[in-house]
């Protein structure tokens, strides 16, 4: 039996996200057949973004070597003893927007979002210019990513710290929705 039920945690996380004002639209579970690495993807967005243009994707990855090492430490320790805080699972939030009609200043946007994410949720902002056809103008697409390592000890202890993270996600979503009014004609 696994030390942590990651699928159960994802179900709880979806419920927690709904409590913070997010709508859950889809969930996918991937299992790598050779290495047994697992990933869960959840598509969600704040309630006020049901009509678009903002999408938010949450991805939680589980490395079997990390999970087995955690289980070994738990089995070797005393009953009820928590393992050291050295086992982590990557959690990624990715915000996506359709191609922009009016391009924002990326440095200003990155600075604003860094202030909203703070140290709880460090945010990266990138843009890609693509050309559908040689004669077409460039289409700019924004990608905003926040990565954090989820403490497996925290999951065992019932303290994943996701309230603060989901609150920051909501603030970032609201800010992007406000700005998006100027980005689209």
Cα 152 to Cα 85: distance, rounded to the nearest angstrom: 7
- Amino acid 128: pLDDT: 92
Cα 59 to Cα 149: distance, rounded to the nearest angstrom: 11
Q: What's the token pair of residue 103?
A: 């391009």
- What are 78-96's pLDDT values in tens digits? 887 888 889 999 999 999 9
Contact (Cβ atoms closer than 8 angstroms) between residue 67 and residue 4: yes
- What are 111-170's pLDDT values in tens digits? 999 999 999 999 999 999 898 888 888 888 999 999 999 999 999 888 888 999 999 999
Three-state DSSP at 45 gives strand
Mean pLDDT to the nearest integer, 47-57: 86
- Amino acid 69: pLDDT: 93
The answer to whether residue 1 is domain-embedded is no
- Amino acid 160: pLDDT: 85
Direct distance between the N- and C-terminal alpha carbons of the chain, in angstroms, rounded to an integer? 54
The answer to whether residue 91 is domain-embedded is yes
| pTM for the model | 0.91
The answer to whether residue 41 is domain-embedded is yes
The answer to whether residue 29 is domain-embedded is yes
Residue 57's closest CA among 171, 154, 151, 146? 146
The answer to whether residue 94 is domain-embedded is yes
Share of the chain above pLDDT 90, in %: 68
DSSP 8-state secondary structure symbol assigned to residue 137: P
- Amino acid 52: pLDDT: 78
Number of folded domains in the chain?
A: 1
Token pair 């929705």 is found at: 177
The answer to whether residue 97 is domain-embedded is yes
Band (pLDDT 50/70/90 cuts) for residue 103 is confident
Cα 108 to Cα 124: distance, rounded to the nearest angstrom: 12
Q: Please give the residue range of the domain that contains residue 64.
A: 6-183
Conformational region of residue 19, where left means phi above 0, alpha means psi within -120 to 50, and beta covers everything else? alpha
Token pair 């996600």 is found at: 169
Q: What's the token pair of residue 174?
A: 């609201």
- Judging by DSSP bridges, how do beta strands 88-96 and 55-62 pair with one another? antiparallel
The answer to whether residue 98 is domain-embedded is yes
Contact (Cβ atoms closer than 8 angstroms) between residue 141 and residue 178: no
The answer to whether residue 92 is domain-embedded is yes
More confident residue, 19 or 82: 19
Task: Count the Cβ atoms, other than its own, within 10 Å of residue 129.
Answer: 11
Query: Is 60 exceeded by the pLDDT of residue 1?
Result: no
């Amino acid at each position: 039996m696994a030390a942590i039920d990651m699928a159960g945690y994802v179900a709880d996380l979806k419920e927690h996200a709904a409590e913070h004002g997010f709508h859950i639209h889809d969930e996918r579970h991937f299992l790598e057949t050779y290495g047994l690495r697992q990933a869960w993807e959840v598509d969600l967005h704040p309630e006020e973004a049901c009509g678009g243009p903002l999408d938010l994707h949450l991805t939680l990855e589980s490395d079997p070597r990390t999970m087995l090492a955690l289980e070994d430490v738990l089995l070797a320790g005393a009953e009820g003893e928590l393992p050291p805080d050295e086992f982590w699972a990557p959690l990624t939030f990715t915000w996506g927007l359709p191609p922009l009609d009016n391009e924002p200043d990326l440095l200003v946007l990155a600075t604003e979002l860094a202030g909203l994410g703070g140290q709880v949720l460090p945010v990266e902002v990138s843009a890609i210019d693509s050309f559908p056809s040689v004669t077409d103008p460039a289409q700019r697409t924004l990608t905003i990513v926040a990565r954090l390592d989820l403490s497996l000890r925290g999951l065992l202890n019932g303290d994943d710290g996701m309230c603060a993270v989901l609150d920051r996600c909501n603030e970032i979503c609201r800010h992007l929705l406000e700005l998006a009014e100027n980005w689209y004609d």
